[in-house]
Structure 1
């Protein structure tokens, strides 16, 4: 109203002398003569009097046509005023409506109150109200649970408000676990008390006032969970191949129980190779997708590899992190994106060079044997040319393998392998072509062994002045020009490896000539000798440490002796849980106390100790143990008063306490005694 008064205050300055010029400017039909209407008629001459009548007539016409109105739109103002009035009424009634909804009482069951004196009102809680205010970040409204046991979010404020009658000195209390909250009186309202508590963990509570105690009620706290992130695309490992557009969309789904506040994409770029790898981190803020703090959001971001500075052969790692309104954060696993490295094109000068860069591949001796057996099996179905070609290829593979092992003997070429080379005794005995060659030489010249051979010339080392020194150094010199001494193999290994090469030569000769069946024994002997050489050239290093003594297997095997053969057993005596004696004592009291006999108030302590164990179980499973806990409270109240224990409360308490007992160890069960018929049956069997 003050603002309206300030806006209307300038209207006090409005005068006819101010309105007349405005009308002359607004309406040309008045011919700038509206001021004549303000002049008295006796002061005007004839011409002014005629003009005054003319202007008055035109002004009347404008008024009838509705054009002569104030330059203010009252319709908009009236509509806005009406809406504001309705909003004011709603705001005026809203707190009262909300209060009426939140102060709805919840049913709370109390133990029987003490008998009041005649003429006095018993002290008791007549009404209980509960109000739960969730944290602001949850965006949940304040609510009033319909039951005394309820659920609430972590960090919520619970307000109990009770109305009492009777005693004015006693103050109600809220017992939460082992903590007692003393209620405060509400100012201006007699008999009204309130208390507040912040939820952190699930608890049990009850109300106390003037000796009366309510049943136990559970408050289940829902903990705030961290955000859940799921990356839909790409896959955990993505290879961007050559020719594919180097762009990848990153799509992720975020969920939270109350709301998301921040999202981020963290990218780590790895560039270079070997020890020259450089890492660089790039962070992208994706909080725009969670601007309204939704409980679920979809994120989309594009990975453009060239814009991130990547080239062929580089890679990047990325993950998505999110944070909720409570400050809890989570992140995904690292995802890898690799840009395929393209092969470097050779220059024209390199294209003409016949350099073989591919590694040399050799068939093993075992593979040659397998291929030979396969060719022997397929020989009846093949023509002679194909058999000869495949056999010659096998001979070439055998030659390559022989030359490969010949390098260990110091041979640079394969010329020393053959009939002219020194043969080992194994090859001379097994090669049947050797005797034929010797017979041919004997036939061509019978005196081949009778003539004298010239004495070979003396070497330069013997003829020199340092012959004795050379003879002493000869065993310790590694001679590359001599195949027999051009390696460091032991003499036994060297002799066996020479036999391997001889067998390979014999197998190669027969494979190249198409004698497949005759080549098989030489191939097998070459493989056998080769395995023996491999075993002899291995070096075994004995490990340092404990060496167990050898087992006397010869004296223990098949003897039936089981001493020390039992499985190891570990026994440990554990003390019973601390609450088990209290539970057993309560069950013993329930079993020995009659339901109709008077009780001893001192026995209430036994039941209270068992109630501690039952309260812990009710906190974990309130739906199962909470009714039993209430029944136990009634039993405690009856025992304290010396009354007979409640008969209806015994069965649920006994079942609950029995469930809390530890599982007994299994005990062996004695077999039942055999009947006379069974004894007679066994006697007949033993005959």
Structure 2
């Protein structure tokens, strides 16, 4: 047998026992530490500690096994085998023995080596330490499992605050506790409240623990405008639980309707607000010389935390006017900072996105919060990077104009067609709801564009556009027309000057001008086709909307390609003046111009009636008032307080303070009255004589 084979045979049992012994000692320690970490920090920290501990134990065991090398084996054989005559090193020498004496001694001890076993060299098991550590680990694990966490186990009960005096035979509430378990996504701890009024996040678990004296038979939680909640017995206490899905009022009914009415308690459900996204970079930035990377910065905040990853929508616009090419993509980005206040600052390489001179890059951050299920998604403001072309550099004085006109490119008729075609290509990768939502968004853009053109035909502008479209091209100086002085800044989209700049030359004053019939007919066709495109897009059918959109674009281009659009001058059509009646004072045929006053309809009828009844001594209709509160709770400042006041007055109809309280709440809940038309002030003596004279009654 070779020296290497002999060494591996005699060292293997010792190495194996060393590894198993270390792992056996490490497992109880890891179990105890993981149990404590799970109890204090939660399961994620406990799992991480267990994985780290196992890795450390394996590293120590490997190092201990490697220490059993050839030198260790020689020392061990010489120490435990006297018959080897301290010559065990000769067994592991190479075959080429230098002297005959060493060869003779090697042969002698090789025969004696087989009289022993390799297992005799292994170190003994650490039984004492293993038993002690295992017992300690078991005790620690059991203690961690049984030891109650804050908010677990029987809660401590606080004295009742109902204020109901004891009565013979009637049970009353003497101790109470309200436990609130917020949803996991809020990362809020469980808490116990000594009061039965509380505020909790929407979706929290509410658990009541109540104690009555004398023992109650069937206590309940009576919800105002809701079903009663039955309590179940648990020893000397009664417990109940429910999920908080809305704010509500309730009272603890211990005596099943006997005795005095318990006071009301209030639970307010705090909704999860959507995240807020703020752009830290300027709304418009120009590319600097030599710049090749852009790092827009955004800040996202949320009451319970923003997701660590978000999406960045990048839109590129290259070209000018109708020759603009668009591309859009979404890339994942990661945020930094605390969960409730994250920062997103992605680095965008121009070469990667194909961004070049004469283009615009628009980025928009899309974030989600940590709500589960159904996280809320919010789109942040857009940030624009403009790379001016070399032939038409923009000065700093044009930044305001660029910021105003740039978004018009994204709502041109050609862009609507591009967006619809892109959506059709991505149909297979989108869910039905997402596909319908994207199609509806394009439909909204089509609606805004339709409103821009329809206002020129006498219709009202839809939406709130403030910019001209990018479907029309202007004309330049030197075309043979007098364009007058430089145009002033537009007050917003819809001004007649903007229309003429798009479709023709303003030869007349804009307030007294209109499109010629031929141009008007063409625009009418374009608007009709836009209407068909909008209808199909909002129904989630962009494939059917494309023919309408393409025809609308052709009509718009037909108007743009017209060499001249003549506008007929239209003035106010006033009745002819009769010179014979001038300076005569005759009033025959002159009708009164007094306009009738229309009454304002209000939905506060029940509330106003109840307020007037409370103002006097009549009994208000509390049923109708309660229905009015439920129907208008979305706009009321505090519907629960109003409901509580109604319920209190229903329980105590003769309570003057209760009537005053309800009346004051109604006054703040009703809509503020609009300004009334005041009658004309009566004239004085001189004015009366003047009116009499011009009316024909004077002398």
TM-score range relative to shorter protein: 0.3 to 0.5
TM-score in terms of structure 1 length: 0.47
TM-score in terms of structure 2 length: 0.47
State which structure, 1 or 2, has the greater radius of gyration over its C-alpha atoms. Answer: 1
